[in-house]
Copies of this chain bind each other. A is one copy, B any other.
Amino acid sequence: MFELAPEFIRDSVLVTKLKLCQVRLQNDQRFPWLVLIPEVNEVTEVHQLSQQQQNQLIQESCLVSSTLKALTQSTKINVANLGNVVAQLHWHVVARFEDDEAWPGPIWGVGSAVPYPDQKRAEFIDSFVKALNSAQ
């Protein structure tokens, strides 16, 4: 059975599940920021996935990226697997704007998270899931 690292339970909420990955929303309204977590235990690097899983990951990343960019009208999408702090393999997809707090630098480690009010988070997730479903 797949076990999610406690940091993801604490800092993000489940948006939807795709074939390989859980898609989670980071609870930080400074950035529209999704995290894809392949439901595969004990993997820390993308290259440890099977070739089929690697292809599935990039396909899911691209689906989430194009949906997020269209929804937010962002300047750029940033995608990354870092994992220097939380080892469990995870893949960031972040919508970036020229007036966001970290532009043009990366977002990780910048300032402190600003949690969403519950209703705003629910509305974002609802909009995102609808857009994702119509893109598939």
Contacts and interface: CB of A to CB of B under 8 A. Distances in A.
Interface string A37-78: 000000011110101001101110111011001000001111
B69 A78 contact: no
Contacts of A58: 46, 54-55, 57-58
A80 B83 contact: no
A134 to B, nearest CB: 16
What is the oligomeric copy number? 2
A16 interface: no
B106 A45 contact: no
A79 B78 CA distance: 11
A76 to B, nearest CB: 5
B105 A108 contact: yes
Given A58-B58, A77-B47, A85 B66 contact: no
Contact of A81 (B54, B75, B80): B80
19 contacts: A45-B66, A45-B69, A46-B58, A46-B65, A47-B61, A47-B66, A54-B55, A54-B62, A57-B58, A58-B58, A76-B82, A78-B80, A80-B81, A80-B82, A80-B106, A82-B106, A84-B103, A105-B109, A106-B108
Interface of A: 44-47, 49, 51, 54-55, 57-59, 61-63, 65-66, 69, 75-85, 96, 103-106, 108-109
